[in-house]
Structure 1
Amino acid sequence: MRIARRIPALVLPAALVLTAACGGPDTTDDSASSKPAGSFPVTVNDARGEVTIDEAPQRIVSLSPSTTEMLFAIDAGDQVVAADEYSDYPEEAPTTDLSGFTPSVEAITEHDPDLVLLARSAEDAADKLEKVGVPVLVLDAATTLDDTYDQIRLLGKVTGDEKKADAEADRVESEIDTIVTDTKKKLGDTDLTYYHEVDDTMYSATSDTFIGQIYGEFGLENIADQADDAAGGYPQLSPEFIVEQDPDLIFLAYAGEDAVAAVADRPAFDKISAVKNGNVVQLDEDTSSRWGPRVVDLAEDISEALVAAEEN
């Protein structure tokens, strides 16, 4: 499969897509040959410019969990022959020890891919792969829900599953809109504040980030927006700042059996409304850090926490 690239005059939107790609079934697999081929050649924009793909890829290497989940959601999973070490969903994903952070060209080419999907952070590997004849798409991380929908549709175009991708993007958008609308009806006008904790060193995320914008859909106020170093999107907050801001809810985006209890045990945190009222919520660490179709699950978790907080 040949890819032609042309850099457009305008800069691409900052968050169209992330990841690396993985190939699908063996070319002798009947499921691949019986699949609709889509309309090719097809031209799309990746993080580096305009890309034309001549034929539907049959051996994709996906080096991003979000992208892997999207590919399977649009029925392109049978085209994925390898996925990175963190692509653990769905269960049938061909997870390997490939790194999406420091991709090995040699390890990737062992899977004989006809398309590789790389994250922007791993862009340096793209030129090396293309020099050995491996087509590559470099994708930015999503920063808005619209970016998620766009990325699902983009992957549909490049895999020949455009109709399914459009339907999946519409489904995700519709379900999130319904969750948000129904939640707001239950709560009415709310002035709830929250603190999203990325890890136990108290790094947070502002409203300008992908996760922050999902909370924003529900009308929540983010205490991290008031931090002195909030401009980077992921400020490290001090315990004193968090106590002073007194959030109504605390969301933990990391694993740990005792994570909720550990937050409550921090000095002075027993004064925080979220702790006093039992509104410290541990999110699934995968759905709270990926922007694939399971953002619907994340929206549901946030909704349940808000309803519970209002009842407390």
Structure 2
Amino acid sequence: MTDPRPASGKRTSAAAALTALAALALSSCGTSVSPEAAPQGTAQEGYPVTVQNCGTELTFEAEPTRLVGLSPSQTELLVELGQADQLVGQAQTDTDELPAELSEQVADVPVLSDSAPPTRETLLEVTPDFVYSPTTYEFTTEQGFASTDQLAEAGANAYVATGGCPERRQSGTVDDVFTDIENLGMVFAEPERAAELAGEGQERLAAVSSAIEGAELPTVAQLYVDGTTLSAIGSGVEYDIILQAGGDNVFDPDESAFADFFAATITPEEVTSRDPDAIVFGVKDSEHEAAVRSYLTETFPDVTAVAEDRLIAVPGSDLFPGTLGNIGAVERIAEGLHPDRF
């Protein structure tokens, strides 16, 4: 599972159970980038560039040079696009660990926050001109964060991962990340690297699809466990990850429980009644994974997933919108669901 916050920034009772975890192909609800002809006398060739993001136009008069990633997942993508030297801040660093080779590149980048988004004052203090976020929650003033308007007044464009936009949070797909890669490649004048990165991701997904072609789809419950509070995931990019991994999710976007949010608090009896062949669950770290496995084993001894030991843990950060980890999650889950195909 990924971001536990509603796109509006207001927490729901379902979100409260999920806060410990913390939070595409082009479509009519997606985003797009279009380079505009640079006016005579402009300092940088190829600019301005305009991005359609979450229904809003972001215009870049020049290449951004002071960047902030509001989660490790977003920081990772910025580094992969060659922007490590332009980072002036990274945030929510406790929610995930960057791969070693990337972590070294941001070792000197100031940490603005650990387990929650940075406050408005902390973010504005580093004077960014580009802020990349997984969802719109990171810009809610009610939580003490800088709004997109406040960032704009300070000279910074705020870009939200396509799958984290309010209109996409319920229907996002793994392919949304390719829209973000294309967009950011244009914004940072790195179209070739963006194309290479997208191509690598698409090849990985195609390899999974080829490997599981014709396989019987096991039923899957995607859960998040916080202590003894149980939540089910029924829509959004998380749902599509299960689909692309060759699973048949027992919770469906058409259910009323997921009409307004991608997750819902459920009772253990609900899981038992649906008797999934496998259970996929998001985790923060190894300690959290061990606790969840223990809970599932003790609570659902007769459920097929537990009885046949098909409990598949996925780093929660790999389920955030706008992250390359979405692809890794598809691979990991597919291997757990179809071990004979890999």
- TM-score class, shorter-chain normalisation, is 0.7 to 0.9
Shift of 1:123: 5.5
2:47 and 2:276 mapped to 1: Cα distance?
A: 52
Q: Is the 8 A contact 1:227 1:235 kept in 2?
A: no
- Structure having greater relative contact order (Cα 8 Å, sep ≥ 6): 2
Shift of 1:173: 1.4
Paired position in structure 2 for 1:230: 258
Q: Hey, which bits of structure 1, 4+ residues long, moved more than 4 A?
A: 12-17, 99-103
Root-mean-square deviation (Å): 2.8
1:250 and 1:244 mapped to 2: Cα distance?
A: 14
Alignment of 1:140-289 (within 5 A): 140-142=161-163, 143-184=172-213, 188-200=214-226, 201-206=229-234, 208-225=235-252, 228-231=256-259, 232-254=261-283, 255=285, 256=288, 257-266=290-299, 269-289=300-320
Deviations 1:211-260 (A, max 9, x none): 11111124421112285513232122221111111100011112422321
1:38 and 1:169 mapped to 2: Cα distance?
A: 24
2:156 and 2:322 mapped to 1: Cα distance?
A: 24
Corresponding residue to 1:128 among 127, 130, 150:
150
Alignment of 1:74-93 (within 5 A): 74-86=81-93, 88-89=97-98, 90-91=102-103, 92-93=105-106
Change (3 A) 1:251 1:100: closer
1:283 and 1:219 mapped to 2: Cα distance?
A: 15
Query: Rg: which structure is higher?
Result: 1
2:71 and 2:92 mapped to 1: Cα distance?
A: 9
Q: Is the 8 A contact 1:15 1:140 kept in 2?
A: no
2:71 and 2:188 mapped to 1: Cα distance?
A: 16
Shift of 1:302: 0.8
Deviations 1:13-56 (A, max 9, x none): 55659xxxxxxxxxxxxxxxxxxx77322111122522221111
Change (3 A) 1:38 1:192: farther
Deviations 1:167-203 (A, max 9, x none): 111211121111221133xxx3313101111233221
1:109 and 1:191 mapped to 2: Cα distance?
A: 48
SS of corresponding position for 1:97: coil
Q: Is the 8 A contact 1:130 1:136 kept in 2?
A: yes
Q: Is the 8 A contact 1:144 1:213 kept in 2?
A: yes
Corresponding residue to 1:112 among 105, 115, 127:
127
1:77 and 1:194 mapped to 2: Cα distance?
A: 38
Q: Is the 8 A contact 1:45 1:51 kept in 2?
A: yes
- Equivalent position amino acid for 1:276 in 2: A
Change (3 A) 1:68 1:167: same
TM-score by length of 1: 0.78
TM-score by length of 2: 0.72
2:111 equivalent to 1:96 = yes
Q: Which moved more, 1:40-49 or 1:100-109?
A: 100-109
Instruction: Give unpaired runs (5+ residues) of structure 2.
Output: 1-26, 33-43, 142-146, 164-171
1:276 and 1:309 mapped to 2: Cα distance?
A: 19
Q: Is the 8 A contact 1:152 1:168 kept in 2?
A: yes
Deviations 1:73-100 (A, max 9, x none): 1222222121112364241333513479
Paired position in structure 2 for 1:137: 158
Change (3 A) 1:194 1:310: farther
Instruction: Give unpaired runs (5+ residues) of structure 1.
Output: 1-11, 18-36
Shift of 1:149: 0.3
2:317 and 2:173 mapped to 1: Cα distance?
A: 17
1:128 and 1:293 mapped to 2: Cα distance?
A: 29
1:245 and 1:310 mapped to 2: Cα distance?
A: 26
Change (3 A) 1:199 1:227: farther
1:160 and 1:310 mapped to 2: Cα distance?
A: 39
Alignment of 1:47-66 (within 5 A): 47-66=54-73
Deviations 1:142-162 (A, max 9, x none): 121221100111111111212
Aligned residues, how many?
Answer: 274
Alignment of 1:15-54 (within 5 A): 16=31, 39-54=46-61
Q: Is the 8 A contact 2:212 2:341 kept in 1?
A: no
